[in-house]
């Protein structure tokens, strides 16, 4: 697979063939739910794709916000990209340690700040390792580059915009959380949050978009997952989840399907579930 064939994804073979290309930069954007007991930074230090730098979703964020890993101010994002050695003209490939979980968040953030030449490694690190491809434990020494950011506000929604969309029905709200959490039958992993979902929203669990090999399903499989949930792929979509990470998998899948009117509710349920004056549906 060449990147021109699928702009959102690159294969493990493509990446190995292009690892030494001067215009290719690789991010390990691994992040794990707190209850997994996994340490993404420690795992990165132990083994990563050669030359990959660590994209810290919790630090490359608006740390002034009480909400988890919200998109940072543009100045901070520019500073971090330069420090990681990514500049204008670089082709960025993002992966994670789960296969496809948090890599889509970094993919979305780069696009949010105007860097469109970014793709997700299909199957992530598990597929890379399973195929016997090389890893290293050496910390890379990136050279600082010039990175220009142009924030694309159409790719993100705040709570006011989502509340208006829920009221008017002009944009579909699609929730990537598991069905039990969506229906309010399972407690939220973050304390203090109500259970349930945004009124009128639809549920496409992110796991239904991923195959057994940890790679994104083909277009037929993706389309089926959205349509079975009642999502009209001809209308705009706002993606939501627990804290804005797996919502980005929905956007990656939509982009793969040629759907261009999609955005991420950055605060997601961590925000909506916190405010008692916002309506919640269960069941």
DSSP strands (E only) in the chain? 9-10, 24-28, 53-54, 91-95, 118-121, 156-157, 172-175, 202-203, 237-240, 262-265
Query: Distance (Å, rounded) from C-alpha 58 to C-alpha 69?
Result: 5
248 catalytic, yes or no?
Answer: no
Q: Which of 24, 241, 245, 254 is catalytic?
A: 241
User: Can you read off the two tokens belonging to residue 60?
Assistant: 């490359």
237 φ/ψ angles, rounded to the nearest 5 degrees: -125, 135
Q: Which residues contact 148 (CB under 8 A, 6 or more apart)?
A: 78, 88, 114
Sole residue written with tokens 């955005």: 263
Catalytic center residues:
241
């Amino acid at each position: 697979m060449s990147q021109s064939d699928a702009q959102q994804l690159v294969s493990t073979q493509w990446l190995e063939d292009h690892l030494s290309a001067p215009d290719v930069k690789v991010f390990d954007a691994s992040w794990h739910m707190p209850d997994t007991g996994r340490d993404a930074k420690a795992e990165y230090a132990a083994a990563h794709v050669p030359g990959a730098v660590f994209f810290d979703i919790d630090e490359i964020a608006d740390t002034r916000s009480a909400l988890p890993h919200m998109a940072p101010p543009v100045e901070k994002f520019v500073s971090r990209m330069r420090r990681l050695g990514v500049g204008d003209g670089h082709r960025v490939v993002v992966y994670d340690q789960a296969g496809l979980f948090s890599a889509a968040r970094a993919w979305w953030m780069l696009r949010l700040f105007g860097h469109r030449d970014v793709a997700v490694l299909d199957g992530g690190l598990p597929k890379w390792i399973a195929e016997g491809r090389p890893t290293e434990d050496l910390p890379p020494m990136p050279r600082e580059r010039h990175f220009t950011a142009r924030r694309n506000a159409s790719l993100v929604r705040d709570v006011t915009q989502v509340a208006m969309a829920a009221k008017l029905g002009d944009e579909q709200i699609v929730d990537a959380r598991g069905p039990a959490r969506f229906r309010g039958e399972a407690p939220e992993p973050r304390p203090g949050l109500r259970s349930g979902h945004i009124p009128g929203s639809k549920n496409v669990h992110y796991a239904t978009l991923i195959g057994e090999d940890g790679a994104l399903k083909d277009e037929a499989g993706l389309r089926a997952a959205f349509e079975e949930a009642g999502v009209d792929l001809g209308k705009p979509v706002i993606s939501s989840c627990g804290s804005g990470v797996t919502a980005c998998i929905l956007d990656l899948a939509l982009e793969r399907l040629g759907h261009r009117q999609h955005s991420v509710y950055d605060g997601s349920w961590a925000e909506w579930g916190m405010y008692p004056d916002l309506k919640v549906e269960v069941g």
